[in-house]
């Protein structure tokens, strides 16, 4: 399966993202060279995860683990197989978990193994190209791994290329801005404010016009 | 690989000799004046190397690879344009049709169907795009979308695709180095003209031509650039083209002046939107549009000039 993921990345994901879409990345050197690490990013499109994967070298392919909602990505057998094996997701139950710490058990496990975890704190893709408020899931996740660095990453343009609820892929050049890492903080409000500030600062780095 | 005409090979060698000289000058400059920042210049020369190598591969291997290369160039240019301009989410399907028309347009070139090549974008796509918008049914911004999408297609697709049609003109008339020779002639003169206008402007520039659109463009740069381009046109024509001496003069003038207009045309677009560079694809140059802006004008102008006279 590891080899298939690398081939899929090399033959499908990378050509699609680098040629059809086109990524201009800023501060890519800030990205972690190895795990454990948490990448938090804004979420506009199914393309987001594919783009983040292309930012890492091919040799890290099997280390990249996107956290994804079980109710959506495991809803039928084909999608579940693809999500778990090819995209290598860490499924989480968005609702119905008894204890909030159990919710992220598999994520903590992956981080212990030295994986790089991708998390979208907005929860879902939402309105394309509009930042939503970050949910506190990232705070609860961080409690179990306070020494893992968190890399804020801002992406722009992918919601234009493939917005939620649309199936037509329209190529646009997209931007990715990578931020410096920071760490979990037991003060929930402080931590969430810091995350928000870091993400808005990254968004302000580029001159991204709003989308009608 | 096809047989490569002698003239073509000579000019390609010449291009790389110029690049070597430019690299040496840059190297000497950075060493002799360490206090000055030549980062931008170094990047620019490096990008010239990459572009020259890619272009050589695209031109020298065979005709079909060249057509694919220029189709891809049109795709990059159109994508950059659509990324740059404000677009509406409701109208995104129309952008999809614009992209779809790229392979179609280049297919007409591949099959050498001149009649279709010359009317497909200006007539059929011109009529199809409003139709797509009408079926989408979102009237707000109709004129803005219909106008900006088609303008982009005319510039980045129709205009640029004229370069490729040079390849499929009847070979018996293109004595010299064939269609590939004409492309090389057009591209070298256009890019050389850009550089010459820039250098003359830096050296002597005083009187601004279009201060509101492009404050760095001066009459001294324009005249010096066009004169240099005419000179280069005379130097290269025997290697690459069937042009007579008088026609060489006109080719140089067309490319020199057309290149200037193409350049300020994209400058006006960028000013309207409020950006300095059209993108970040080519380090030291900006975006794809910053590099091919002049070609969007020189390609159709030179093509119709030479087609009328020789084909």
Q: What are the domain boundaries of chain A?
A: 2-205
Task: Express each pLDDT in A158-168 by its tens digit.
Answer: 988 998 888 89
Sequence-distant (6+) residues with CB within 8 A of B199 are B221, B224
Contact A139, A188 (CB under 8 A): yes
- The answer to whether the CB atoms of B76 and A22 lie below 8 A apart is yes
Share of chain A above pLDDT 90, in %: 41
> Which residue of chain B comes nearest to A208, CA vs CA?
B84
Report the gap between the CA of B83 and the closest CA in chain A (Å).
Answer: 5
Task: Express each pLDDT in B1-49 by its tens digit.
Answer: 457 788 899 999 999 999 999 999 999 988 888 888 888 889 999 999 9
pLDDT on residue B1:
46
- The answer to whether the CB atoms of A171 and B99 lie below 8 A apart is yes
Domains of chain B: total: 1
Burial B207-230 (b: 16+ CB within 10 A, else e): ebbeeebbeebbebbbebbbebbb
pLDDT on residue B72:
95
Task: Express each pLDDT in B204-260 by its tens digit.
Answer: 988 999 988 888 899 999 999 999 999 999 999 999 999 999 999 999 999 999 999
Residue A212 pLDDT > 70, yes or no? Answer: no
Contact B100, B129 (CB under 8 A): no
Q: How far apart are CA B16 and CA B9, in angstroms?
A: 11
Contact B309, B254 (CB under 8 A): no
pLDDT on residue B101:
97
Residue B246 lies inside a defined structural domain of this protein: no
Contact residues, chain B, for A28 at CB < 8 Å:
none
Sequence-distant (6+) residues with CB within 8 A of B30 are B38, B42
Task: Express each pLDDT in A47-79 by its tens digit.
Answer: 999 999 999 999 999 999 999 988 889 989 999
Which band of pLDDT confidence, cut at 50, 70 and 90, is reported for residue A29? confident
Residue A96 pLDDT > 90, yes or no? Answer: no
Which chain B residues have any C-beta within 8 angstroms of a chain A C-beta?
75-76, 79-80, 82-83, 86-89, 92-93, 95-96, 99, 141, 275, 279-281
CA-based torsion, B55, B57, B60, B66: positive or negative: negative
Compute CA B188 distance to the chain's CA centroid, rounded to the nearest angstrom. 10
Residue with tokens 């801002």: A154
pLDDT on residue B194:
94
Domain that holds residue B118: 65-168
Comparing CB atoms, the residue among A207, A209, A212 nearest residue B89 is A212
Task: Express each pLDDT in B89-120 by its tens digit.
Answer: 889 999 999 999 999 999 999 999 999 999 99
pLDDT on residue B96:
94
Residue B292 lies inside a defined structural domain of this protein: no
Residue A93 pLDDT > 60, yes or no? Answer: yes
Sequence-distant (6+) residues with CB within 8 A of B164 are B66, B67, B70, B71, B106, B109
Q: How far apart are CA A208 and CA B15, in angstroms?
A: 38
Q: How far apart are CA B108 and CA A84, in angstroms?
A: 44
Q: Which residue has the higher pLDDT, A194 or B171?
A: A194
CA angle B300, B302, B304 (to 5 degrees): 65
Domain A2-205 has CATH 1.10.20.10: no
What average pLDDT is seen over chain A?
A: 87
Residue B211 lies inside a defined structural domain of this protein: no
- The answer to whether the CB atoms of B92 and A24 lie below 8 A apart is no
Residue A109 pLDDT > 50, yes or no? Answer: yes
Residue B122 pLDDT > 60, yes or no? Answer: yes
Share of chain B above pLDDT 90, in %: 73
Q: How far apart are CA B46 and CA A30, in angstroms?
A: 24
| Range in A188-202, B158-172, B273-287 the model is least confident about | B273-287
SS3 (DSSP) at A116:
strand
Contact B218, B201 (CB under 8 A): yes
| Range in A83-87, A108-112, A206-210 the model is least confident about | A206-210
Task: Express each pLDDT in B265-306 by its tens digit.
Answer: 999 999 998 888 888 788 888 889 999 999 999 999 999 999
Residue B61 pLDDT > 80, yes or no? Answer: yes
pLDDT on residue A210:
62
> Which residue of chain A comes nearest to B277, CA vs CA?
A207
Which band of pLDDT confidence, cut at 50, 70 and 90, is reported for residue A209? low
Contact residues, chain A, for B83 at CB < 8 Å:
157, 172-173
Is the CB of A172 inside 8 Å of chain B's CB atoms? yes
Query: Whose CA is closest to B267, among B214, B216, B217, B219?
Result: B214
- Residue A36 preceded by cis peptide, ω within 30: yes
pLDDT on residue B50:
93
Contact A75, A125 (CB under 8 A): no
Of these ranges, A22-26, B262-266, B271-275, the one predicted with the greatest mean pLDDT is B262-266
Query: Whose CA is closest to A195, among A110, A132, A144, A111?
Result: A132
The helix or strand, by DSSP H or E, that contains position B184, with its residue range, turns out to be helix B178-204
Q: At B230, list the tokens.
A: 């005419």
Comparing CB atoms, the residue among A22, A207, A212 nearest residue B88 is A212
Q: Which residue has the higher pLDDT, B14 or A143?
A: B14
Comparing CB atoms, the residue among B76, B79, B141 nearest residue A172 is B79
Edge-to-edge order in the sheet of strand A23-26: A23-26, A174-178, A150-156, A37-41, A116-119, A64-69, A90-92
DSSP 8-state assignment for residue A12 = I
| DSSP E strand stretches across chain A | 23-26, 37-41, 64-69, 90-92, 116-119, 150-156, 174-178
Sequence-distant (6+) residues with CB within 8 A of B47 are B282, B283, B284, B285
Expressed in percent and rounded to 5, the helix, strand and coil fractions of chain B are 80, 0, 20
Contact A134, A199 (CB under 8 A): yes
| DSSP E strand stretches across A45-104 | 64-69, 90-92
- What is the value of ipTM here, to two decimals? 0.86
- The answer to whether the CB atoms of A24 and B280 lie below 8 A apart is yes
Q: At B220, list the tokens.
A: 């001294």
């Amino acid at each position: 399966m590891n080899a298939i993921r690398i081939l899929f990345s090399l033959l499908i994901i990378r050509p699609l993202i680098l040629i059809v879409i086109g990524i201009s990345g800023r501060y890519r050197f800030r990205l972690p060279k190895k795990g454990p690490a948490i990448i938090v990013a804004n979420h506009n499109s199914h393309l987001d995860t594919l783009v983040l994967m292309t930012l890492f070298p091919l040799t890290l392919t099997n280390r990249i683990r996107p956290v994804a909602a079980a109710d959506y990505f495991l809803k039928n057998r084909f999608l579940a197989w693809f999500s778990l094996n090819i995209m290598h997701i860490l499924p989480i139950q968005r609702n119905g978990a008894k204890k909030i710490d159990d919710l992220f058990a598999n994520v903590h496990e992956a981080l212990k193994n030295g994986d790089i975890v991708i998390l979208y704190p907005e929860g879902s893709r939402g309105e394309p190209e509009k930042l939503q408020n970050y949910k506190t899931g990232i705070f609860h996740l961080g409690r179990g791994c306070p020494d893992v660095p968190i890399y804020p990453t801002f992406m722009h343009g992918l919601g234009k290329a493939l917005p939620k609820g649309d199936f037509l892929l329209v190529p646009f050049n997209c931007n990715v801005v990578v931020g410096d890492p920071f760490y979990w903080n037991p003060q929930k409000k402080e931590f969430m404010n810091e995350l928000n500030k870091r993400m808005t600062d990254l968004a302000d780095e580029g001159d991204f016009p709003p989308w009608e | 690989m096809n047989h490569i005409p002698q003239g073509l090979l000579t000019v390609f060698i010449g291009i790389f000799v110029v690049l070597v000289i430019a690299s040496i000058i840059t190297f000497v400059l950075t060493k002799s004046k360490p206090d000055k920042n030549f980062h931008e210049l170094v990047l620019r020369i490096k990008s010239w190397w990459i572009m020259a190598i890619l272009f050589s591969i695209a031109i020298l291997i065979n005709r079909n690879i060249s057509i694919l290369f220029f189709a891809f160039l049109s795709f990059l240019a159109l994508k950059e344009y659509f990324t740059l301009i404000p677009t509406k989410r409701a109208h995104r399907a129309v952008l999809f049709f614009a992209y779809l028309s790229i392979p179609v347009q280049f297919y007409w070139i591949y099959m050498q169907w001149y009649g279709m090549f010359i009317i497909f974008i200006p007539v059929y796509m011109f009529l199809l795009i409003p139709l797509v918008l009408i079926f989408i049914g979102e009237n707000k911004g109709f004129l803005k979308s219909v106008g900006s999408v088609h303008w982009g297609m005319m510039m980045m697709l129709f205009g640029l695709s004229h370069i490729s049609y040079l390849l499929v003109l009847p070979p018996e008339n293109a004595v010299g180095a064939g269609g590939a020779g004409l492309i090389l002639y057009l591209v070298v003169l256009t890019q050389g003209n850009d550089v010459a206008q820039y250098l003359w402007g830096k050296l002597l520039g005083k009187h601004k031509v279009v201060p509101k659109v492009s404050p760095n463009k001066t009459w001294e740069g324009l005249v010096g650039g066009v004169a240099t381009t005419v000179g280069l046109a005379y130097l290269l024509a025997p290697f690459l083209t069937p042009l007579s001496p008088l026609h060489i003069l006109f080719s140089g003038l067309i490319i020199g002046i057309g290149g200037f207009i193409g350049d300020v045309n994209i400058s006006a677009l960028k000013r309207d939107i409020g950006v300095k560079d059209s993108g970040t694809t080519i380090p030291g140059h900006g975006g794809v549009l910053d590099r091919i802006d002049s070609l969007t004008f020189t390609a159709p102008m030179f093509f119709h000039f030479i087609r009328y006279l020789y084909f």
